[in-house]
Chain A
Amino acid sequence: MRLLTHNMLSSNIKGVEKGFPLRIEAEKVVEKPVEMNADFLRKMFEKVEWKAFVEASRSMGYAQLPEEVDSGMLESDEFLSRFHHALLELHLEEGALVCPETGRRFPVNKGIPNMLLHEDEV
């Protein structure tokens, strides 16, 4: 699971008000290189919840992202490559995503998060 995916997910258990962002319990993190596409990065930059992204990146072992950003930073190659690395090259292979409100764990196995809700959560 990449951080791009993580940034889109929330715990939608019935009754939960604030299910985003999910806390990452990282058991196995892998780095896989991906070809960079600047257009794609610029588009995603508009959609990413930055604070949650930085925090998630830290829990995956990468702390090189700036705390605050503005769109001017997209001009910088340095920033783009760090953004690219955190967004697309870090993989959570094994671990869990934890609901911030209830503590319910959504397991991540073989890189695939299991976001299916139990019968009493819908």
Chain B
Amino acid sequence: MWYLCVFYHRLLDYRKPEVESLAHLFGAFEDEQNGDVPSQLQWKLPIHHHPDSPFHFVNLPSEQVARSIANRSILVKGMYELWGEGGSYEELKDSVLSYPDERKLPYLEAGSTFKITVDSFGKVMSLNEQKELIQGLAYIPFKGQVKLKNPDHNFWLIEIDNYGRNNGLPPIVQRRIFFGREVGGADRKLIPTYQLKSRTYLGPTAMDAEMAFLMANQALATSGKLIYDPFVGTGSILVGAAHFGALTMGADIDIRVVRDGRGPNCNVWSNFEQYGLPMPVGLLRADNNRPPWRSGLKEIFDAIICDPPYGVRAGGRKSGGRKLLKGAVEPYVVPDDKRTDHIPSTAPYSLVECVHDLLDLAAKMLAMRGRLVFFYPVLRDDDCAETHFPEHPCFKLISSSEQILSSRYSRVLLTMVKVGAYTKEIAEAARLKHLEFRENHVKWLQDGNLHSAVFSPIDAQLPEAGDSKFIKDPKPKYRGNYYVGLGHSTVKIKVGIFGDSFFFLVGGLDNS
């Protein structure tokens, strides 16, 4: 059955993949076992709507599935069973009247409670205007009692129109009005509860709550599953997964972050305690480049979710003595009497090698059909038409969602499903690649250097401060940061890039 799905207008690339993943989690594809790759949902756009529009129609097997998806999602504002739609209120009336009675009457019964919410996109309606519209719906035989708080049934009258101004939404060509019964929607209390600004223990690259939940949804986190983060840091990603019932495990090469934190009440454990979540099953200090797993161990994790170090704001490290790997010193042995308290020197870890190790780890340690969900940084180059994402024979990429971080670079959330077993040949190829990285340590550091690409001085091509303050942005204006010129002033519309506090600005632009 087709449902109207209204998204929050943010993180546009993440919206549909989230619904697809949750559909998979709640059994929407049980009937069609399409081999390795999950089946896809059918989507339709309302007439005249742009693909970036918050409004989409999606075909789901049952109301139960629709409700489960909507309630667990982060980006679905509401999922509605559409009773009617039209370009005018007259058309809407005809449409609603022709919608089958057997679908309507059960929700209009005496003895039930209901309310009607009026929502207009692109403009604010006064309470009087809203009341008039509600009264205009008198042709629907509501027999229940009106109850504004927690009614049995919640009906929505949604109006979208072209109001002439560029208000940051995708262009609307013509007016469209929807009337439907709400089936479910995102829990609005979730993010305020978990938001980073009230988190006990934070680090510079802690994942914001919204994104951690999106990642957990992509990974199908649920009770009974074991989920691993090889770059656990303060545990911000695992908190998201634990909220949805999964058991978690994490490792980090930095022992201070994972073991000590900032004190006995300010560490990874206290983050879980803060929300009453079950503690991680295991935390360890380990190097993902030299993992401590026993050789027979495989297919033990149901998902791996992580944010590897890109080398821009936080560089990765791996074991092996920086000077040693560079060839600056001869191989040395740590004297026995110094061994106990020896802190091994670590070397910089290029993004390329880091991702290679991550894929190798995931290929071996993920259960079949398990998901690998991780962020991959990309440079926002006008010239570079296609971005090549990492590939591995054991994996199938099922979604990639971009989040713009600055004018220079974005990060893309990749979701991969394990479809092939970790064979001897694959293991051998990985071993050889690992050795190759070791031999060419210095070369990889220079070639794979994202840091300099992001932080190098700005091009002379950018307009000077004092001009129209437009950034040359190939993407349509309502993606990421919006800059709308109104005469001589600029209006900056924030669309929440990094949770609630972060904002990257480059060049001669307003800093607020």
Interfacial residues, chain A to chain B (CB-CB below 8 A) = 1-2, 4-5, 8-12, 19-21, 34-35, 37, 39-40, 43-44, 47, 49, 88, 104-105, 107, 109-120, 122
Contacts and interface: CB of A to CB of B under 8 A. Distances in A.
19 contacts: A4-B282, A9-B294, A12-B291, A12-B292, A20-B294, A47-B300, A107-B340, A112-B258, A112-B259, A112-B283, A113-B285, A115-B284, A115-B285, A115-B287, A118-B334, A118-B342, A119-B321, A119-B344, A120-B334
Interface in B315-336: 319-321, 324, 331-334
A19 B292 CA distance: 10
Nearest to A12: B292
Q: Is the interface of B mostly helix, strand, loop or mixed?
A: loop
Given A116-B319, A119-B321, 9 more contacts: A12-B293, A34-B278, A37-B247, A40-B247, A105-B340, A118-B334, A118-B342, A119-B324, A120-B333
A116 B249 CA distance: 17
A8 B285 contact: no
Q: Is the interface of A mostly helix, strand, loop or mixed?
A: loop
B224 A110 contact: no
A2 B281 contact: yes
B295 A20 contact: yes
Contacts of B278: 34-35
A44 B299 CA distance: 11
Nearest to B302: A43
A19 B294 CA distance: 8
A72 B88 CA distance: 66
Nearest to B246: A40
Contacts, number: 107
Contacts of A37: 223-224, 247
B345 interface: yes
A18 B412 CA distance: 40
B295 A122 contact: no
Contact of A10 (B258, B281, B294, B344): B294
B284 A113 contact: yes
Given A9-B292, A10-B293, A116 B344 contact: yes
Nearest to B285: A114
Nearest to B223: A37
Given A12-B290, A19-B294, A40-B224, A119 B334 contact: yes
B286 A116 contact: yes
B304 interface: no
Nearest to B297: A8
A4 B255 CA distance: 20
A117 B288 CA distance: 11
A10 B226 CA distance: 20
Given A9-B292, A9-B294, A116 B332 contact: no
Contacts of B224: 37, 39-40, 43
